[in-house]
Amino acid sequence: MATRILVVDDYEDALESLENLLTIWRFDVRATTRGAEAIRIAGSFHPDIAIVDLSLPDVDGFTVARALQELPERPLLIAVTGHGEESVRERVVNAGFDHYALKPWDPDDMHAVLMAANGRRASRASK
């Protein structure tokens, strides 16, 4: 079964590019530009990983993260943002994100993080 990844980014070109890349890497992907929609999708899609932009037009990525942490099977949460200030990093950690990446996220680094997460998911499922 393919790893399910939910991607949330309000920049449509970046969202589409990431969705295409993840599909090429054979992940099962759902994508949206809206935080509230991401929360709704997660309820039925049950993502293993959520890649969440922090700046969204309706609800911010921190709100999305809080909602996703309430799911019965909490996904690995990855925050992506163009803001690298220390205060943002602190908020990301305090919000429960598992990983933090600055835009643009290097595809090799992204692949390594996703494969490590996929490995943790596989070992958890085999127990």
CATH code, 109 = 3.40.50.2300
Other CB atoms within a 10 A radius of the CB of residue 31 amount to 21
18 is in which domain, residue-wise?
Answer: 14-121
Within a domain: 79: yes
Within a domain: 2: no
Q: Would you give the DSSP letter of residue 26?
A: T
Half-sphere exposure of 37 (CA within 13 A, CB side): 13
For residues 111 and 127, give the distance between their C-alpha atoms in angstroms, rounded to a whole number.
Answer: 25
Burial group, residue 94, by CB count within 10 angstroms (0-12, 13-18, 19+)? exposed
Burial group, residue 87, by CB count within 10 angstroms (0-12, 13-18, 19+)? exposed
**pLDDT at residue 61 is higher than 60:** yes
On average, the pLDDT of the chain sits at: 90
At 26 the pLDDT is 94
Within a domain: 9: no
**pLDDT at residue 116 is higher than 90:** no
At 124 the pLDDT is 52
The encoded tokens of residue 26 equal: 């054979």
Burial group, residue 84, by CB count within 10 angstroms (0-12, 13-18, 19+)? exposed
Within a domain: 22: yes
At 120 the pLDDT is 64
Q: What percent of the chain has pLDDT over 90?
A: 72
Q: Please count the structural domains in the chain.
A: 1
At 118 the pLDDT is 73
pTM: 0.91
Within a domain: 5: no
Within a domain: 69: yes
Helix, strand or coil for residue 79? strand
Within a domain: 52: yes
At 125 the pLDDT is 52
**pLDDT at residue 122 is higher than 70:** no
Within a domain: 116: yes
